[in-house]
């Protein structure tokens, strides 16, 4: 049973436009959420996170939105750049069990 | 800074062989974990540890053993490798104690024939 889902396996966006990556979760005990970026043959690298007590967190071009009632989070990248082309994973943490659960990933391609 | 170091980077095994994937971190992190990445499946949690002497099962623990005798090291053991364990394995660590980011190693690609 997939507790964290990324329903779009891939996304293509024009350079300079907004990229929106989505993530849904089912476990209401998750209280911390993270986004990671992964290039081929490298380990995932941390991008941005959000606590369940917030609904938005910004860091430069990256903004994460959390809608707890819908159990949905999204990552916005504005403006998108070719170097943003990678696989993006969302992850959720249940602080009680200390399990970080990841989604299946979305491959983003930013077209120059 | 070394961060999270995984060895080996590549390994080919025959079915039934055993091996250990090594993971070491130099950040004095309490929390360590192992994931496997498979096409279409994302990153799945195998085992994790919240501190030396403490380990627990993740989403896909079968066929894998772990131990945590020191803060720095968290080896992953395959006692009898199966083709279904062909995957890329990632070790990750975090400070622990409160929610925070996971730091990942570069991965170990394992092929079981």
Position A90 scores a pLDDT of 97
CA distance B63 to B85: 8
Across the interface, of A9, A32, A100, the residue whose CB is closest to B45 is A100
Q: Per-residue pLDDT for A88 more than 80?
A: yes
Q: Per-residue pLDDT for A89 more than 70?
A: yes
Chain B residue nearest residue A93, CA to CA: B99
Across the interface, of B40, B43, B101, the residue whose CB is closest to A102 is B43
B31 vs A: CB within 8 A: yes
Position B1 scores a pLDDT of 67
B1 vs A: CB within 8 A: no
Q: Per-residue pLDDT for B31 more than 80?
A: yes
Q: What mean pLDDT value characterizes chain B? A: 95
Give the 3-state secondary structure of residue A52: coil
Give the 3-state secondary structure of residue A15: coil
pLDDT band for B2, please (50, 70, 90 cuts). confident
Q: What percent of chain A has pLDDT over 90?
A: 95
Distance of alpha carbon A14 from the chain centroid: 19
Residues B61-76: pLDDT tens digits?
Answer: 999 999 999 999 999 9
Residues B34/B74, Cβ–Cβ less than 8 Å: yes
Q: Which residues contact B59 (CB under 8 A, 6 or more apart)?
A: A101, B44, B45, B46
**E strands of chain A, at which residues?**
4-5, 10-14, 19-25, 32-38, 45-51, 56-59, 62-67, 72-77, 86-94, 99-102, 106-111
- Interval B35-55 mean pLDDT: 94
Q: How many CB atoms lie within 10 A of CB B99?
A: 19
- Alpha-carbon gap: A14 to the closest alpha carbon of chain B (Å): 25
Residues A50-80: pLDDT tens digits?
Answer: 999 999 999 999 999 999 999 999 999 999 9
- End-to-end, the C-alpha distance of chain A in Å comes to 38
Q: Which residues contact B62 (CB under 8 A, 6 or more apart)?
A: none
Q: What mean pLDDT value characterizes chain A? A: 96
Q: Per-residue pLDDT for A109 more than 80?
A: yes
pLDDT band for B98, please (50, 70, 90 cuts). confident
- Alpha-carbon gap: B45 to the closest alpha carbon of chain A (Å): 7
Across the interface, of B48, B59, B104, the residue whose CB is closest to A44 is B104
- Alpha-carbon gap: B103 to the closest alpha carbon of chain A (Å): 7
Position A39 scores a pLDDT of 96
Chain A residue nearest residue B3, CA to CA: A43
Position B14 scores a pLDDT of 97
pLDDT band for A33, please (50, 70, 90 cuts). very high
Give the residue with greater pLDDT, B100 vs A76: A76
Residues B101, A6: C-beta atoms closer than 8 Å: no
């Amino acid at each position: 049973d997939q507790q964290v889902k990324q329903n779009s396996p891939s996304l293509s966006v024009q350079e300079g436009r907004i990229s929106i990556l989505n993530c849904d979760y089912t476990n209401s005990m998750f209280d911390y959420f993270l986004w990671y970026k992964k290039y081929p043959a490298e380990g995932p690298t941390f991008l941005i996170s959000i606590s369940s007590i917030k609904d938005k967190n910004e860091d430069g071009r990256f903004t994460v939105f959390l809608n707890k009632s819908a159990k949905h989070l999204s990552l916005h990248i504005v403006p998108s750049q070719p170097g943003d082309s990678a696989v993006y994973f969302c992850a959720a943490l249940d602080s009680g069990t200390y399990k970080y659960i990841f989604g299946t990933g979305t491959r983003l391609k930013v077209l120059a | 800074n070394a961060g999270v170091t995984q060895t080996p980077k590549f390994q080919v095994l025959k079915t039934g062989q055993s091996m250990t994937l090594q993971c070491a971190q130099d950040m004095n992190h309490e929390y360590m974990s192992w994931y496997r990445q498979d096409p279409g499946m994302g990153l799945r949690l195998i085992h994790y540890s919240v501190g030396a002497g403490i380990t627990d099962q993740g989403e896909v623990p079968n066929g894998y053993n772990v131990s945590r005798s020191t803060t720095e090291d968290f080896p992953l053991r395959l006692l009898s490798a199966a083709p279904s364990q062909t995957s890329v394995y990632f070790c990750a660590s975090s400070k622990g104690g409160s929610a925070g980011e996971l730091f990942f190693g570069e991965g170990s690609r394992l092929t079981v024939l």
